[in-house]
Amino acid sequence: MSKQANVNFQQSIDQGDRLVPVNLRQTGDPGIQMLISNRVRKSPYWHLSVEAGCWKATVYNRMYHPRAYVRPEDGGAMEEYRALVNDVTLWNVAVERPIRVKGPDAEAFCNYVCTRDVTRVPPMMGRYVVLCNEQGHVLNDPVMLRVAADEFWFTISDSDLAYWFKGINHGLRYDVSIDEIDVSPLQVQGPKSEDLIADLVGEGVREVPYYGLMAATIEGAEVLISQTGFSGEKGYEVYAYDSTLHAETIWNTILDKGEKYGLKVIAPAHHRRIAAGILSYGQDLDHETNPFQCNLGHMVPKAKETDYIGRDALERTRELVSQGTPPFTHQLVGLKLGGRPIEDYAPDFWLVGPDAESEPCGWITSPWYSPELGTNIAMAYVPVASAAVGTVLVAWLPDEFLDIPGQPVDAVVCEMPFRASVNPSSRERAKAAGRDYAY
């Protein structure tokens, strides 16, 4: 990334709807080495990721999170991408800590903290859900698994959801226990994932529907299999019970079985999830983002009868959006960008403007290069008035991605997802059914 740092904060960009503005200083990647210490947790799979070649990591849910395996000189992240879209891949996502809500009132509690109607989710099924505060801002967007009638797991994105749950229940006194549990997920993603998982746990997994669950064992270790993932490709998650004890057994068995399918250990596929329009918490949304602002308005149901946290604020937002007066300044959109291929993580929120002569008005959250589309793609926040598909903007990228140094590239607002997913998202399914909301 560019080492030239422009640390002037972009005051020209209206962030008046936020208490804490997004930091838009362009400081680049200084090449600082991450400190590995015992104040940040190592997951049960951490040492196995290191053995598999992990050379870049970040911190997520106070745990070290592998983010790169293939070295740049060997093809880097795009070599990992090719393995994902052509074969099958294994991801260490143990940082997505399952928070268990269990007890006689589990359904009622979960239905109160989720916008979607949890009572419609039968045991051994899951849903993608959002959880909001009283202002209607998104606190987390986990995958929720209903393991039993009285037991739910929330595979969380990067935030303190367990503390939120415990705080809510301190006053409400639902009859539930709320705990992080010793269950660590792995993801097996790619077009050959079904064959590999069937080799691991039996042919019955082929009957598991999208967001369905299956109890199984791998070399005597108990696991829960879900047909879910963060890629847009066909994929599964493997939740290992007592993962601190069974990490090596699960990991090594998957590697051994996957050899004939060309299995490669890779980082979570942000290049593919961007193409699929899948959001990354902390990057594309945070605790000051409204669902209607970030392409998640469909997660606010119209048919849910019971109350839930944030309902009044979200219904008011829906009404204001329908009137053309949304209570936020910027809207998340898809962009197709010019310039040279972006094939690694962006260290900054790169800036967007109406044209090369004007002040910036928005920022890119998640950029990458799409080989299938032959262009750079990105998610970005732009002023609501500039969010219509087809709007032409410009983007200021680091010099290494510019065709002409110092000149911004064209950026055109487009529909998301950029590429169809193997399993359509809840938003896509609702849209196909003529609804602007999910149940």
Domain contains 353: no
Domain contains 61: no
Cβ-contact 354, 403 below 8 angstroms: no
Radius of gyration of the chain (CA): 21
pTM attached to this predicted model? 0.95
Domain contains 310: no
Domain contains 336: no
Q: Alpha-carbon distance 143 to 145, whole Å?
A: 7
Which pair of structure tokens corresponds to residue 126?
């899951």
- Residue written as token pair 């053309």: 324
How confident is the model at residue 12, as a pLDDT? 86
CATH of the domain at 213: 3.30.1360.120
How confident is the model at residue 427, as a pLDDT? 87
Q: Alpha-carbon distance 89 to 268, whole Å?
A: 10
Which pair of structure tokens corresponds to residue 250?
């699960």
> Which range marks the domain in which residue 254 is found?
183-261
Domain contains 303: no
What confidence tens digit (pLDDT) does each residue in 384-420 have?
999 999 999 999 999 999 989 989 999 999 999 999 9
Number of domains within the chain: 1
Domain contains 169: no
**Interval 143-151 mean pLDDT:** 98
Domain contains 316: no
Determine if residue 203 is labeled as part of a ligand binding site: no
Domain contains 325: no
What confidence tens digit (pLDDT) does each residue in 249-301 have?
999 999 999 999 999 999 999 999 999 999 999 999 999 999 999 999 999 99
What confidence tens digit (pLDDT) does each residue in 3-50 have?
444 566 678 899 999 999 999 999 999 999 999 999 999 999 999 999
